[in-house]
């Protein structure tokens, strides 16, 4: 099977192609589509066979639950047992948008979709193409990120084609996504809401609206004895082919440290890659493959390019990659969560 690729823009969705995508989903097929965070791999969320197909196409363990995407506020109630007042408040503030809520699931959601859990993850994306497709499919689309399990999430339709072009029915190309990191996941199955995955909506933004909100312990501690509650967060998301290490510290020391590390690696005949920023990329040895991830002045640009830069390094011949750390004010938590996972938590302190 070779996926049909259809192109359109978020401003002007091609409604005829979307209608066909909706038919494919209703008939149990798989359609990849853009959202404001990353591309999703869609299947009918209420069809257990479609969910099984999603796991197979991604090579994803079937105990790692999928997010159910909706496109109307009133689509939430039928798939959950109850909506706690704080969840309602959060939905009113940030839906449609890059937010996923975990709630106790209703019977109609098959266990295949939720990886056997009795809770369900729900998200209402803001992207117009995503919304129209969900409506055309009947209202409930299960969609993990549209990458092969273990690779970085796709931020362009080309990334989706590379990974899944041969395994799904249709890819909707809506251009590069806006945010570039997956949605913030908030768990409402316990007394106090818990962030299971940091994202564009930060812990501070959540606390401002809801009061007490906790970070999942499995995210804070790199100790492997504490398991993250979102099954997907326990997997080492992306291991680039090269050895990746994060160098932390104050900018000038980081530049000195990376430069010294480059000299040592090159002395062993290794090609070195560097993940820098617009502000620092001119400061490293020209013998390296230097990529700017964005500007520290605009942290959104760093989130936006992270997965793309990681994918690009897999095409080059770098054997070792050193990356600066990006503890930026608002999205730093989300950016560093993904980057540290990609590095297998390998960090080096620059003194
Ligand atoms: O931005 C996003 O959320 C994207 C776009 C396509 O919407 N989707 C996405 O899906 O990132 P995925 O499958 O790659 O990540 C879903 C995460 C996984 O870590 C999974 O374990 C967790 O959500 N999850 C899903 N249902 C859960 C549940 N009932 N309880 C705890 N964690 C859950
Ligand atoms: Mg994913």
| pLDDT per position as a tens digit, 99-156 | 999 999 999 999 999 999 999 999 999 999 999 999 999 999 999 999 999 889 999 9
Ligand 1 pocket mutation, candidates 34, 62, 145, criterion most atoms within 8 A of CB: 145
Q: What is the pLDDT of residue 126?
A: 98
DSSP state of 202: -
Q: What is the pLDDT of residue 189?
A: 97
Residue 224: pLDDT band by 50, 70, 90 thresholds?
A: low
Q: What is the pLDDT of residue 147?
A: 96
Mean pLDDT of 328-346: 94
User: 236, 145, 230: which is closest to 195 by C-alpha?
Assistant: 230
Distance CA 53, CA 55 (A): 6
Q: Cis omega (within 30 of 0) on the bond before 148?
A: no
Partner residues linked to 321 by β-bridges: 244, 273
CA–centroid distance, residue 258 to ligand 2 (Å):
30
For the stretch 245-300, pLDDT in tens is 999 999 999 999 999 999 999 999 999 999 999 999 999 999 999 999 999 999 99
Beta pairing class for 272-276 and 320-324: parallel
CA–centroid distance, residue 220 to ligand 1 (Å):
18
Please name the residue whose Cα sits nearest to atom 32 of ligand 1: 230
Distance CA 217, CA 205 (A): 19
What six digits make up the tokens of 259?
């430069």
For residue 65 and ligand 1, the question of a CB distance below 6 A is answered with: yes
Region for 115 from its dihedrals, namely left if φ exceeds 0, alpha if ψ lies in -120 to 50, beta otherwise? left
Distance CA 69, CA 133 (A): 10
User: 328, 248, 264: which is closest to 294 by C-alpha?
Assistant: 328
What six digits make up the tokens of 91?
């939905």
For the stretch 176-187, pLDDT in tens is 999 999 999 999
CA–centroid distance, residue 264 to ligand 1 (Å):
40
Q: Could you count the other beta carbons within 10 Å of the beta carbon of residue 289? A: 16
Strand, coil or helix: 143: coil
Partner residues linked to 184 by β-bridges: 99
Distance CA 201, CA 97 (A): 9
Q: What is the pLDDT of residue 236?
A: 64
Ligand 1 pocket mutation, candidates 177, 182, 198, criterion most atoms within 8 A of CB: 182
Q: What is the pLDDT of residue 239?
A: 73
């Amino acid at each position: 099977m070779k996926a049909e690729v259809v192109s359109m823009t978020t401003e002007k969705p091609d409604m005829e192609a979307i209608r066909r995508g909706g038919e494919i989903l209703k008939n149990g097929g798989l359609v990849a589509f853009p959202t404001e965070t990353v591309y999703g791999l869609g299947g009918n969320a209420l069809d257990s066979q479609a969910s099984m197909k999603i796991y197979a196409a991604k090579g994803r363990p079937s105990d790692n639950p999928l997010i159910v995407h909706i496109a109307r506020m009133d689509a939430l109630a039928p798939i959950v047992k109850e909506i706690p007042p704080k969840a309602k408040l959060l939905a009113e503030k940030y839906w449609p948008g890059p937010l996923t809520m975990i709630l106790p699931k209703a019977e109609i959601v098959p266990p295949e979709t939720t990886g056997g859990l009795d809770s369900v993850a729900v998200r209402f994306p803001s992207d117009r193409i995503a919304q129209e497709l969900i409506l055309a499919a009947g209202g409930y689309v299960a969609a993990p990120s549209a990458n092969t399990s273990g690779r970085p999430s796709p931020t362009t339709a080309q990334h989706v084609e590379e990974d899944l072009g041969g395994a799904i029915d249709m890819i909707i190309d809506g251009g590069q996504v806006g945010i570039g990191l997956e949605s913030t996941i908030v768990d409402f199955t316990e007394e106090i809401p818990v962030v299971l995955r940091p994202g564009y909506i930060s812990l501070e933004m959540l606390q401002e609206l809801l009061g007490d909100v906790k970070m999942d312990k499995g995210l804070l501690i790199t100790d492997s004895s504490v398991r993250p509650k979102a099954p997907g967060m326990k997997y080492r998301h992306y291991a680039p082919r090269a050895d990746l290490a994060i160098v932390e510290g104050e900018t000038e020391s980081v530049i000195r440290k990376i430069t010294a590390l480059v000299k040592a690696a090159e002395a062993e005949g290794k090609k070195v890659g560097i993940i820098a920023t617009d502000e620092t990329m001119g400061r490293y040895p020209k013998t390296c493959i230097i990529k700017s991830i964005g500007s520290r002045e605009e942290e959104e640009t760093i989130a936006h390019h992270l997965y793309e830069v990681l994918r690009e390094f897999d095409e080059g011949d770098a054997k070792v990659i050193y990356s600066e750390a990006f503890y930026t004010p608002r999205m730093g938590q989300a950016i560093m969560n993904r980057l540290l996972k990609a590095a297998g938590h390998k960090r080096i302190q620059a003194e």
